[in-house]
Amino acid sequence: MTSDNRVLIAGAGPVGLAAAAALLRRNVRVTVFEASASLSEESRASTFHPSTLDFLDELGFAGDLIAQGLKAPGLQYRSRRDGVLARFDFGLIHDITHHPYRLQAEQFKLTRIIHTKLSGDPNYQIEFGRCLRGVTQDANGVTVQVQSTDGAVEECRGSWLIGADGARSEVRSALAMEFEGFTWPERFLVVSTPFDFYSVIPELDPVTYVADPQQWHFLLQIPGAWRLMFPIAPEVSDADALTEVFAQAQLATVVPGRTDYEIIHTTLYRVHQRVAKSFRAGRVFLAGDAAHINNPLGGMGMNGGIHDALNLAERLARVWHGEADEHDLDRYDAQRRGIAMEYVQMHSIANKRNLEARDPAEQDRFRDEMRAIASDRNCAHAYLERVSMIASLKRAAELG
Ligand SMILES: Cc1cc2nc3c(=O)[nH]c(=O)nc-3n(C[C@H](O)[C@H](O)[C@H](O)COP(=O)(O)OP(=O)(O)OC[C@H]3O[C@@H](n4cnc5c(N)ncnc54)[C@H](O)[C@@H]3O)c2cc1C
């Protein structure tokens, strides 16, 4: 058994590595256990909000990420029935962020940047192919069972543990922590194509949500491609949904008369709305997808997870250096679980309901509401403050 005064982190996703970076900045030793043999290359979240970019800037990662991403200066809502409902320019919130735009960049770019930058730090230890299997704790520390790829299990010890091991978190299971919520009946299909949608859709923005009772969807521009996301009905099998023919049929609904797109990638995934009953159990914490999951409408999953990581890391660093009492760590749960419940869950569910609304009166309400917000400068400012997750940070401070 190794025994050390370190913070252990399960998972080298964006949340685990952001937590590691924030702890190392405060000279706290960390060990990250990552089950896979290397950092994930999966195509998943691809939107960084202004609030997250401000944080990443403080940590010294924003410049490299921005260089590899695409700045989206605006976002819009439209509906098939009414056309463009509202367009928003992030420039309006230049007074409250250093990054008045969304950055479109795949999450694996961030994890690579963080890992590369941390690699020279003697306090940074990362172990690939090491899967956390169990957790026990006592008054002085945490003991974790770690399984290597050859099957051997070893015990490691640290002072605190952050479970940033994703939606199927073993840390959460080891704590027997309930993951309350529900799973949507439809899955989401993401189709990527290099096709230039600006050439066929007038007044398009790089982040565009399209409301429609039959086939709502969104278009998200990333470097070199567009990602389009569609809900897939329960009666369609996974195998069928992942065929080229099926993806082409979804794309064919976007621009009337246009078919036969070049498809470079498809992902199908099940979408949940769940929040762990608590984000803290003694010396163990949950962060990111391990703590909360939601639909991707609004891009709040990874962004909210990075916000968790930074909130928790700063608190742990203060306790570590004797600058704060351990009770202060309860504020992490109060603030970040509070935000997951009242902000991320509420708004991501409302976003989906607005896009899929079948009742014409509901469609009218959404249209009128979006038009009213976009036509009033103060309302538009408040709206952008909310969707950029700046408002959630202010609200978190009030919660704990
Ligand atoms: C297919 C897919 C598509 C998505 N698309 C979008 C999207 O378009 N927009 C959006 O906003 N969000 C999207 N998401 C959600 C987004 O990717 C997550 O919110 C984000 O990755 C959360 O980061 P994380 O670090 O908490 O978890 P993860 O990124 O899941 O990282 C967890 C890490 O922990 C490792 N791990 C797991 N178990 C263990 C263990 N026992 N021991 C050690 N390591 C372990 C994993 O290998 C992984 O590297 C998507 C998710 C999925 C699954």
Task: Report the 3 state secondary structure along 182-222.
Answer: EEEEEEEEEEEECCCHHHCCCCCCCEEEEECCCCCEEEEEE
Residue 290 alpha carbon, nearest atom of ligand 1: 26
How far apart, in whole angstroms, are the C-alpha atoms of residue 247 and residue 241? 7
In a domain, 330, yes or no: yes
Give every CB contact of residue 249 below 8 A, 6+ residues apart in sequence: none
Question: Using CA positions, which residue lies closest to atom 2 of ligand 1?
Answer: 44
Is residue 112 included in any domain, yes or no? Answer: yes
Tell me if 66 CB under 6 Å of ligand 1. no
288 ligand 1 Cβ < 6 A: yes
In a domain, 114, yes or no: yes
Closest ligand 1 atom to the C-alpha of 133?
41
CATH code at 62?
A: 3.50.50.60
List the beta bridge partners of residue 148: 130
Quote the domain boundaries for residue 338: 2-71+103-180+273-356
Per-residue confidence (pLDDT) for residue 302, from 0 to 100: 97
Kindly state whether residue 13 falls inside one of the protein's structural domains. Answer: yes
pLDDT at 130: 98
Residue 77 belongs to a domain: no
Cβ of 289 less than 6 Å from ligand 1: yes
Does some domain include residue 191? no
**Closest CA to ligand 1's atom 9:** 45
pLDDT of residue 74: 96
Query: Which ligand 1 atom lies nearest to the CA of residue 301?
Result: 19
- pTM for this one? 0.96
Q: Which of 39, 125, 148, 165 to mutate to test the pocket of ligand 1 (most atoms within 8 A of CB)?
A: 165
pLDDT at 211: 97
- pLDDT at 1 (0 to 100): 43
What is the pLDDT, as a whole number, of residue 2?
47
Residue 102 Cα to ligand 1 midpoint, Å, equals 20
Distance (angstroms) between ligand 1 centre and the Cα of 118 equals 20
**Is ligand 1 within 6 A of the CB of residue 163?**
no
Q: Is any atom of ligand 1 closer than 6 Å to the C-beta of 132?
A: yes
Low-confidence ranges of the chain (pLDDT < 70): 1-3
User: Using CA atoms, how far apart are residues 313 and 298, in angstroms rounded to an integer?
Assistant: 25
Q: Determine the atom of ligand 1 nearest the C-alpha atom of 304.
A: 19
3-state helix, strand, coil in the chain (%, to 5): 40, 30, 30
Q: Judge whether 13 and 111 are in contact, CB under 8 Å.
A: yes
* For ligand 1, atom 30: residue with the closest CA: 166
For the chain, what is the domain count? 1
What is the side-by-side strand order in the sheet with 284-286?
124-128, 30-34, 7-10, 160-163, 284-286, 280-281
Q: How many other β-carbons are positioned within 10 Å of the β-carbon of residue 181? A: 15
- Whether 298 is in the pocket of ligand 1, judged by its Cβ within 6 Å, is no
Determine the pLDDT at residue 4. 78
Q: Provide the pLDDT for residue 400.
A: 77
Residue 363 lies inside a defined structural domain of this protein: no
Q: Could you write out the DSSP letters of every residue in 303-350? A: HHHHHHHHHHHHHHHHHHTTSS-GGGGHHHIIIIIHHIIIIIIHHHHH
